[in-house]
Amino acid sequence: MDIEEYRDHPVRSYVLTSGRAHPSRNTLRPETLVRAVESRPVLSTAGRLERELVQLCRGTLALAEVAAYLQLPVSLVAVMVSDLVDSGNLTIRSNHQAHVLPGKDILEKILDGLRKL
Amino acid sequence: MDSASSDRTVPGQHLAPTVARSVKVLVVGAFGVGKTTLIGAVSEIDPLRTEERITTASVGIDPGQPNKETTTVAMDFGRITVTEDIALYLFGTPGQRRFWDLWAGLADGAVGALVMIDTRHLEDSFEVLDQLELRTKIPFAVVVNQFPDSPNYPLERVRAALDLLPETPIVECDARDRQSAVLTLITLVEHAMTFPVFQKVNA
């Protein structure tokens, strides 16, 4: 899908999310890590994009990466991801950090890692 | 950005299964200042792009006639797996006031921001710094991206021209060079560690 395609059809984004502009949870950020739940088959009613999204998440990716690969806005993918978490098809890998800043211990680990690059 | 569309499933781009935490740093600055170059220099994946449609209040329009327009803002980003369980994401975003709604959301939860400066167009960065200082409490470090024809100002002169606080780090950088870009991140995280908000341990 070409980016120009959805830019030219503003209504389309809302059709994909059944008219909703906000996800069912507000803890999703662009860096939130998500992953497919392999044991959970995607519902037969799921659309092509939902299937593609779950397929993408066979390994861990951040929400922003999913959005980039699907060539859709992050805000829209947040709605889809939220629904797929509700249906048990996706799991949030980094849930514990929602709205919590990393602590000093985490920053120290990051510094150590950066110094080794 | 063709690399993303040519291989939509990109299995090799997944994070290691051990990664269970992500943190982010913003890379802000005016257009053309080298945000995506810096992100590309340190990222373990080719920088990716997402686009977000936002409604912006037009600046400089008669306030009696509120005029909103819809703009598409591109956000380039990359990532570094810094330890076996932590991935660091770098999100590049334009820093102008009219994009505030976009990057206010991004700033939420960020370790800090790298503010990229081009000394040939110093005035372009005033608005970005104002937004950071007035509207967020996030730590930031100023990164002077050295272009081949950049005037060779001493950093202290740039600091004075930007009216930075004495504790705000300012470093020179060649955004194309990986080690140089990594050093800017180290400077930022070291600075962030002095902020009380990051003092508590939440392992």
Give the residue from chain B lying closest to A67, CA to CA.
Answer: B50
Inter-chain contact B86–A67, Cβ cutoff 8 Å? no
pLDDT, tens only, A28-81 = 889 999 999 988 888 777 888 999 999 999 999 999 999 999 999 998 999 999
What superfamily would CATH give domain B19-196? P-loop containing nucleotide triphosphate hydrolases (3.40.50.300)
Over 80: is that where the pLDDT of A24 sits? no
CA A37 distance to own-chain centroid: 14
**Does ipTM exceed 0.95?**
no
Q: For residue B169, give the 3-state DSSP assignment.
A: coil
Inter-chain contact B83–A112, Cβ cutoff 8 Å? yes
pLDDT, tens only, B10-47 = 545 999 999 999 999 999 998 889 999 999 999 999 99
Q: Which two tokens stand for residue B156?
A: 């202290």
Query: Do residues B116 and B170 make contact, with C-beta atoms less than 8 angstroms apart?
Result: no
CA–CA distance, A82 with B158 (Å, rounded to integer)? 45
Inter-chain contact B111–A56, Cβ cutoff 8 Å? no
Name beta bridge partners: B52.
B73
CA–CA distance, B133 with A72 (Å, rounded to integer)? 31
For residue A113, give how far its alpha carbon lies from the nearest alpha carbon of chain B (Å): 5
For residue B52, give how far its alpha carbon lies from the nearest alpha carbon of chain A (Å): 5
Q: Is A32 in the B-facing interface, judged by CB distances under 8 Å?
A: yes
Query: Do residues A83 and B60 make contact, with C-beta atoms less than 8 angstroms apart?
Result: no
Q: Which two tokens stand for residue B173?
A: 């950088």
* CB within 8 Å of chain B, chain A residues 66-95: 67-75, 93-94
DSSP string, A32-52: -EEEE-TTSPPPTT--HHHHH
For residue B73, give how far its alpha carbon lies from the nearest alpha carbon of chain A (Å): 10
Burial class (CB in 10 A: 0-12, 13-18, 19+), B67: exposed
Inter-chain contact A60–B202, Cβ cutoff 8 Å? no
Query: Do residues A95 and A81 make contact, with C-beta atoms less than 8 angstroms apart?
Result: no
Give the strand order in the sheet containing B112-117. B48-57, B68-83, B86-94, B21-29, B112-117, B140-145, B170-173
Between vectors from CA B132 to CA B126 and to CA B134, what angle results, nearest 5°?
95
Option in A29, A64, A108 nearest B50 (CB): A64
